[in-house]
Amino acid sequence: MKLRVAEGRRPGYVTVTVFAGVAASVAYALLRMFSVIPGLPCWWRELLGIKCAGCGTTTALQHLLRLEPLPAFSVNPLISAAYILGALICVNGLVGVVAGRRLVVESSQTNVWIATGGILGLLALNWVYVYLR
């Protein structure tokens, strides 16, 4: 894996997709924080009776929006880290649109598979943490 500076003001599809996901999540969390809409039940918990790896997602994001990272990470560490990474990707894309230069990660297919395995491993560990919490 290596970082390089890319030229051009057009954001990539990953940046646009991440921005849409973060924006939708933030909008939902804010609406829930101010009790504008009711919460949605976790279908995993409803069907199986156990917590899923994403349980606490909205609560963790609400803590992050209040600039409370420690409670956010105690609720769901992987989701909290993913939101922070998503925010950094959005900032990188915004800088690219405004300044015409952004950071790009280049990687081989092997590194992508290794990263995917690492993410799946972290997801499993996160699920154990959330389940036992």
Average pLDDT score over residue span 9-16: 83
Query: From CA 25, how far away is CA 70, in angstroms rounded?
Result: 19
Alpha carbon distance, N-terminus to C-terminus of the chain: 35
Q: Is the pLDDT of residue 50 over 90?
A: no
Q: Return the bridge partners of 6, or none.
A: 102
- 15 pLDDT more than 90: no
More confident residue, 30 or 42: 30
**97 contact partners, CB below 8 Å, separation of at least 6:** 9, 10, 11
Residue 100 backbone zone (phi > 0: left; psi -120 to 50: alpha; other: beta)? left
Q: Is 120 exposed, middle or buried (0-12, 13-18, 19+ CB in 10 A)?
A: exposed
Q: Indicate the pTM of the whole model.
A: 0.82
CB neighbour list of residue 121: distance below 8 Å, 6 or more residues apart? none
Q: 108 lies in which domain range? A: 2-132
DSSP state letter for 7: E
**pLDDT for residue 52:** 83
Check residue 38 and give its pLDDT: 84
Report yes or no: 112 and 103 within 8 Å, Cβ to Cβ.
no
Number of independent structural domains in the chain? 1
Average pLDDT of the residues in 63-85 = 94
- The span from the CA of 104 to the CA of 11, in Å, is 11
- Coil, strand or helix at 45: helix
The mean predicted confidence, pLDDT, of the chain is: 89
Give the pLDDT confidence score for residue 43 in this predicted structure. Answer: 82
Model confidence over 20-38: pLDDT tens digits? 999 999 999 999 988 888 8
- Encode pLDDT of 88-117 as tens digits: 999 998 888 888 888 888 888 888 899 899
